[in-house]
Amino acid sequence: MGQGVDEARQQRELSKAALASNLDRLEARVRSELDWRARLQRERGRLIGIGAGVGVVLIGATAILVLRRVIGGKKPAEEPRPITLEKLGSELQDLRRLVEKKNGSSGSLVQKAVLRGVTAAGTAGGTALAREVLKRQMATPEGTETARGG
């Protein structure tokens, strides 16, 4: 029996020693993880790479934003100014005179086709604009028409 007790004590002492060495290794590992200076030195390369990547992305995004603002920034839309029928008529007259003048001169077939297309587009635009003006005039209350003397 004494021999079994001695063996058990010896096993216990060996287990204690193994646990103590494991505990010492674990303590050293925890200390090294918690030591921010040592960790910073260990991971310096990775941190520099991450910082450089973030810097490149930020510089690229800033450059894109600056270029968008400089080259083609969003411009505020102008409010459409109302056109009177007199202005519209005079512009159409000017366009007709210009077209008649150009049609009379000798030009290439392409120029004549373009002028005819422009004439047709001007006529269609003028018609659409005149309809819109008439719609607006019809939509105004009758009291405003009499106030203007109409």
User: What confidence tens digit (pLDDT) does each residue in 28-41 have?
Assistant: 888 888 888 888 88
Output the DSSP codes for 5-58.
Answer: HHHHHHHHHHHHHHHHHHHHHHHHHHHHHH-HHHHHHHTHHHHHHHHHHHHHHH
Q: Return the residue matching tokens 């505020």.
A: 76
Q: Who wins on pLDDT, 71 or 25?
A: 25
Of 137, 120, 138, 144, the residue nearest 85 (C-alpha): 137
User: What confidence tens digit (pLDDT) does each residue in 47-79 have?
Assistant: 899 999 999 999 999 998 888 888 875 666 676
Q: Is the pLDDT of residue 24 over 70?
A: yes
Question: Where are the domains positioned within the chain?
Answer: 2-72, 85-147
Instruction: Give the whole-number percent of the chain exceeding pLDDT 70.
Output: 83
User: What confidence tens digit (pLDDT) does each residue in 126-145 have?
Assistant: 888 888 888 888 877 654 54
* pLDDT value of position 81: 74
pTM of the model: 0.32
* pLDDT value of position 75: 65
